[in-house]
Amino acid sequence: MRPPMPEHRADRVPLWRHLALFRRDILSAQPVRLYRAKMAEVKLPFLHSVMVNTPDLVRLVLSGRPEDFPKSERVREGLQLLLGESVFVTNGATWARQRRMIDPAFEGGRLRETFPAMWAAAESMAARLVPGEAEVEEAMSHAAADVIFRTLFSIPIEDDTAAAVYRSFRAHQRSAPILNPAALIPMPRWMPRYFPRQTRKTARHIRALITDMTAARMAAIEAGNAPDDLATKIMTTRDPETGETFSTEEMVDQVAIFFLAGHETSASALAWTLYLIATHPEWQTQLHVEAQALRPYLNGPAPGFGILRQFPLIRDTFREALRLYPPVPMMVREAARAEAFRGRRLGAGAQVIVSPWHMGRNERIWEDPHDFRPERWQQDDTKRCARDGYLPFSAGPRVCTGAGFAMAEAVLILARILCDWNLRPVEGRRPVPIAHMTVRAKQGIWIEFQPRARG
């Protein structure tokens, strides 16, 4: 059975219809032909946008000349309320400085050090699962948020402040508009941006909570009794060029994006992976056998980080889910100067879109691109396909600094679930992919959890 697809629009629709669809969902606003098109173009009175769908142009934008295609200022308009000047939205020297101070916290050695906290979050999640039907986007969001709080601030999600941040963030997601007017119509910086009142309220509340957490950690660092976690590592790392560390205000911006990127994207990917596993029972049986490597460690101390090497099929399953359902479906860059793509002229300020969703399903790159075939990751030819069309973590200098963290977290959580449970799709609840901030399902993703006998 082919995995669920979005409700694509017709190839040609009136502009007003396209904008209406886009406000509702990014994916349903796209025509089917984009899975084979080499480039698509949209021209509006105040916006010129192209989507590049060939490996050569994608590499040019993300890796070849990234300084000529910085993050879009238009997209930044809709995110700045919550994310401020975080590494996700900045460009140029500001972004380079931030990456120099953040990247060391996610190097291989530090990832090993965070593994016990990941294990504690996985065990806590396992204790919450019960037999029966469950909406797994919500469950995975809770689990991924727990991982972030434990690894970043050494607190579980049950902590009062952590729980308040999590609740406020979910309220923020429900109220935030997908399309800010400034994304379509250029506006001077002095002009106030429109956001719903609830969106402004939740953003202020989230940032106030994070400010309290960050200030408390700064005080603990100065007192010499701060835990050795990711927050402490990032806040004590000095820029090798200037010797400076992050101020409390700067750190609030970074924590906001760590929480957004670290739990929202992981929750999306994990939920879709569970659904794909549930709908492929024969493959699930193989994964269950592999997951039994965790059995000796249940309800005990964390296994060593090296145990992740015992889950190659689970890792391939997650890779395939990321190909089919990349959490961030589109990345928007901005042409810093005039360009020419495939004979089309782009002026400075034109929006250049790279779509992990369409590249991961590109019919010119992948065999059976819309099918769930995790075994493809054991084939040599997939390396070429992945080099040309696999972008769940972006590519080039702006590749996600937490990619290794996300892979380790996902493989561990999936293995922990598969160790105990048999997964089945819920009849009549086939999910329909939609995308706002990340790729989710219109009515959630429902799974039936059936306990397996422990042997």
Task: Choose between 264 and 236: higher pLDDT.
Answer: 236
* Type and span of the H or E element at 109: helix 108-128
Model pLDDT for residues 377-411, shown as the tens digit of each residue: 999 999 999 999 999 999 999 999 999 999 999 99
**Largest pairwise CA distance in the chain:** 66
Backbone φ and ψ of 329, nearest 5°: -75, -25
Residue 263 has what pLDDT? 87
pTM exceeds 0.95, yes or no = no
Cα separation of 215 and 197, whole Å? Answer: 27
**Domains delineated in the chain:** 15-451 (1.10.630.10)
N residues, the chain: 455
Model pLDDT for residues 100-138, shown as the tens digit of each residue: 999 999 887 788 999 999 999 999 999 999 999 999 999
Residue 264 has what pLDDT? 87
Backbone φ and ψ of 322, nearest 5°: -65, -35
For the cut 60, the answer to whether the pLDDT of residue 185 exceeds it is no
Task: Choose between 96 and 20: higher pLDDT.
Answer: 96
Cα separation of 249 and 420, whole Å? Answer: 43
Residue 411 has what pLDDT? 98
Tokens of 269: 């990917």
Which DSSP letter does residue 378 get?
G
Residue 143 has what pLDDT? 95
Least confident segment among 43-47, 155-159, 202-206, 372-376? 43-47
For the cut 70, the answer to whether the pLDDT of residue 188 exceeds it is no
Position 205: which residue type? H
For the cut 60, the answer to whether the pLDDT of residue 43 exceeds it is yes
Cα separation of 16 and 418, whole Å? Answer: 46
Nearest to 332 by CA among 28, 149, 77: 77
Q: In the structure, what pLDDT confidence band is assigned to residue 38 with cuts at 50, 70 and 90?
A: very high
- Residue 48 pairs with which residues in a beta bridge? 43
Model pLDDT for residues 3-18, shown as the tens digit of each residue: 998 877 556 656 555 6
For the cut 80, the answer to whether the pLDDT of residue 153 exceeds it is yes
